[in-house]
Amino acid sequence: MTITNAERARILVNALPYIKQYTGKIVVIKYGGNAMVNEKLKNSVVRDIVLLHLIGVKVVLVHGGGPEITELLAKIGKQTQFVDGLRVTDKETVEVAQMVLAGKINKSLVNLIECCGGKSIGLSGMDGHMIEAEMKDERLGFVGKITNIDPMPILDVLEKGYIPVVSTLGCDNSGAVYNINADTAAAKIAGALKAESLISLTDTEGILRDKNDPSTLISHITVAETKELIQSGVISDGMIPKVECCTNAILDDVKKVFIIDGRIPHSLLIETLTDEGIGTMFEGE
């Protein structure tokens, strides 16, 4: 489809109110799932992030990397075990997680942002003790529960004009390293930064009243309504912790929180710069 110059101009004019709303504001993006594995989608997401950065949005990218951790563990002959949906993380596994998250994935995202015209610096939660954590459950090993977020390393990077790319590792005062759930970390970071919004890129359209029917998408939902939908079973399984992270961010004074489908090209721009919107938006009341 060919877009005329007049249509391009109209798109930019229509985006102006949203550009004004977000310019100078912090937007935390939680990145993972299919959008991070599929190279074409990865390029689309990163280009959207760079565009937001160039129009003055202070983008903070928080990423996980579960599939790549599992892949590397398999290559070294180590079987992955899960308890209640969480990876059992012994000493060897957390070392692999550190290599994958703070090394391969983090630096590849930084490099891709730079190649797309942005400026980026990679951080891990261990840098400056940004993410302090303790053991969540002895059965899980080095899986962390966040005890404190120090946003200063991120704010310093933003002040210098870079896009912070944060891998979700934490540490305690003894130096022990913990793997942190990326949804949890993104919500806590957004709250500590008092972000304008938190956008979670997922492999689903958002919250559906019928998980098999995309037309039942719930476009707006309150914290109270999420509790009712969890109790009724509408929100279930792996969506429960994602939703709880979103509601916790709202309770931590993040102004707007979204779950959107990262499989849709340019879903970030559709959500932030158009009146169409996409996915589910969380509200306090």
Which domain CATH number covers 265? Answer: 3.40.1160.10
Query: How far apart, in whole angstroms, are the C-alpha atoms of residue 139 and residue 63?
Result: 25
Over residues 92-137, the pLDDT tens digits come to: 999 999 999 999 999 999 999 999 999 999 999 999 999 999 999 8
DSSP bridge partners of 149 = 131
- Domain membership of residue 34 (yes or no) is yes
Nearest to 243 by CA among 263, 273, 218, 271: 218
> With pLDDT > 70 as the criterion, what percentage of the chain qualifies?
97
- Domain membership of residue 38 (yes or no) is yes
- Domain membership of residue 174 (yes or no) is yes
- Domain membership of residue 214 (yes or no) is yes
- Domain membership of residue 11 (yes or no) is no
Query: How far apart, in whole angstroms, are the C-alpha atoms of residue 163 and residue 47?
Result: 13
Q: How confident is the model at residue 163 (pLDDT cuts 50, 70, 90)?
A: very high
Q: State mean pLDDT over 81-90.
A: 80
pLDDT for the residue numbered 98:
94
DSSP bridge partners of 163 = 120
Q: Catalytic positions, please?
A: 30, 33, 66, 183, 242
Q: How confident is the model at residue 263 (pLDDT cuts 50, 70, 90)?
A: confident
User: What phi and psi values does residue 159 have, to the nearest 5 degrees?
Assistant: -60, -30
- Domain membership of residue 18 (yes or no) is no
Q: Which structural domain, as residue segments, surrounds residue 271?
A: 24-283
- Quick one: 285 exposed, middle or buried, by C-beta within 10 A (0-12, 13-18, 19+)? exposed
- Domain membership of residue 200 (yes or no) is yes
* Domain count along the chain: 1
Q: For the full predicted model, state whether its pTM sits above 0.85.
A: yes
The larger pLDDT score, comparing residue 3 to residue 24, is at 24
Q: Is the pLDDT score of 228 beyond 70?
A: yes
- Domain membership of residue 72 (yes or no) is yes
